[in-house]
Amino acid sequence: MLVAGNWKMFKGAHQAREFAAQLRIVEGRAPDIDVVVCPPFVSLEATVSSLGPESRIQVYAQNVHWELEGAFTGEISPSMLAELGVKGAVVGHSERRQYFGETDEFVGRRAAAALEAGLGVIACVGETEAERESGDTENVLTRQVAAIPEHERLVIAYEPVWAIGTGKTATPEIAQEAHAYIGSLHPAPVLYGGSVKPENAGVLLALPDVAGALVGGASLDLESFEAICRAGAEAT
């Protein structure tokens, strides 16, 4: 089971270094969980350094470009990430799609380039509240999943957009139904991401088609993130 913490635009290099040092206790208290943390670009090197080479916690970037180099201002290539000791990247997060015009095509290209460079990938999919209410969830998921390559180092994160940063969480029934549907389209393990908290992690991570969690706000607090990892260990 995989639990990934997306720090979004929080924790600069100094905070990341201190937090990563504290994260080491999670390894001993949830030994059966694969843990990933996703700091901002400016904090990647500090996080990798603070965790150290012996840590089982992997560091992923929050995005990655599909070219190795070029005139792409503001972007970071897979080879640049690998040079820092970063092990993977998130692609297609709903905030990238919503605020920065990320398309299914771009998500697929980013994922393919990262995988070709030897990185792991967490590829995000999910419907908006309007799409769910109109009964379009399966069409949206089918379209988004179709753009994602198949690879042993790739996992999918189902994040219902209406449950991200809103405090809303998909019911276990909704989460299980969506995960099962994604599983019918793609062989990758599927994480749940949508306001995962210690209070609901146990129920969500125990669902048969949920292979872990992509955690947002709760991953910024050591106690909360550890509790989610321990819930995953108990579910496993």
Which residues form the catalytic set?
93, 159
**Residues 6+ positions from 54 with CB-CB distance below 8 Å:** none
d(CA 57, CA 60): 10
Residues shown for the chain: 236
d(CA 123, CA 182): 12
Q: What are phi and psi of 194, to 5 degrees?
A: 170, 85
Nearest to 38 by CA among 57, 18, 65: 57
Nearest to 139 by CA among 125, 149, 150, 151: 125
